[in-house]
Amino acid sequence: MEKRRKAVETMRQHVVDRSGNPTPTPSATAYESRSVAVPFGNCTEPSNVKAGGSRCPIRFQFSGCAFYRPDPSFLPAVEDHIRALKADREMALALGTAQFVVRNLSDQIDSLHGVVTSLRQQIELMPDDDRRHLEDVSAVLRKVRAAAPTPVLPVSSIPARRSTDE
Ligand code: SF4
């Protein structure tokens, strides 16, 4: 708990918004009580925080959300998500999917790239000791989140098509 408290105290100062603008959380208490960890960052939308992260009002569209608050501890998850979005875009293009779907994927990729670039620049400018400390506390927070998994993205279950022979 002590390690976690110290990690939050450091990390709250490195939070950004969906555009990558520094948006430090005013206190460690606010980081813990007014936000909830969701797949690619923290969420500050009050009703979703109250629901423990399972009631996103806009279907987890983080990159366009005013309540999205990523920090360096989420970098690997955001980068993984960018890779997944790129794969989805390739598939959409290969399938001749409507342009608005492809555009939406591209816009999400560009927006999350902005978040990653901003976080990486922030880290590069830090003195070596501070950078190492930030990497350590990022690992602590990832471990804490792994022990209490974040909600999975909602995927509706679609009934399998029945064979015409049946
Ligand atoms: S998209 Fe949903 S879960 Fe993500 S930050 Fe916005 S309100 Fe929260």
Q: 4-40 pLDDT, tens per residue?
A: 889 999 999 999 999 999 999 999 998 888 899 888 9
56 lines ligand 1 (CB under 6 A): yes
37 lines ligand 1 (CB under 6 A): no
- Going by pLDDT thresholds of 50, 70 and 90, the confidence category of residue 152 is low
pLDDT (mean) for 71-75: 96
- Going by pLDDT thresholds of 50, 70 and 90, the confidence category of residue 3 is confident
43 lines ligand 1 (CB under 6 A): yes
Task: With a cut of 70, say whether residue 131 has pLDDT above it.
Answer: yes
Query: In whole numbers, what is the pLDDT of the chain averaged over residues?
Result: 89
Q: How far apart are CA 95 and CA 19, in angstroms?
A: 30
Task: With a cut of 60, say whether residue 87 has pLDDT above it.
Answer: yes
Task: With a cut of 80, say whether residue 164 has pLDDT above it.
Answer: no
Task: With a cut of 70, say whether residue 132 has pLDDT above it.
Answer: yes
Distances (CA, A) of 140 to 7, 45, 77, 157, 164: 7, 24, 15, 34, 53
134 lines ligand 1 (CB under 6 A): no
Phi/psi-derived region of residue 20, left when phi > 0, alpha when psi is between -120 and 50, beta in every other case: left
58 lines ligand 1 (CB under 6 A): yes
- Going by pLDDT thresholds of 50, 70 and 90, the confidence category of residue 85 is very high
Which of 43, 50, 74, 81 is the pocket-test mutation for ligand 1 (most atoms within 8 Å of CB)? 43
Which of 17, 59, 61, 65 is the pocket-test mutation for ligand 1 (most atoms within 8 Å of CB)? 65
Phi/psi-derived region of residue 96, left when phi > 0, alpha when psi is between -120 and 50, beta in every other case: left
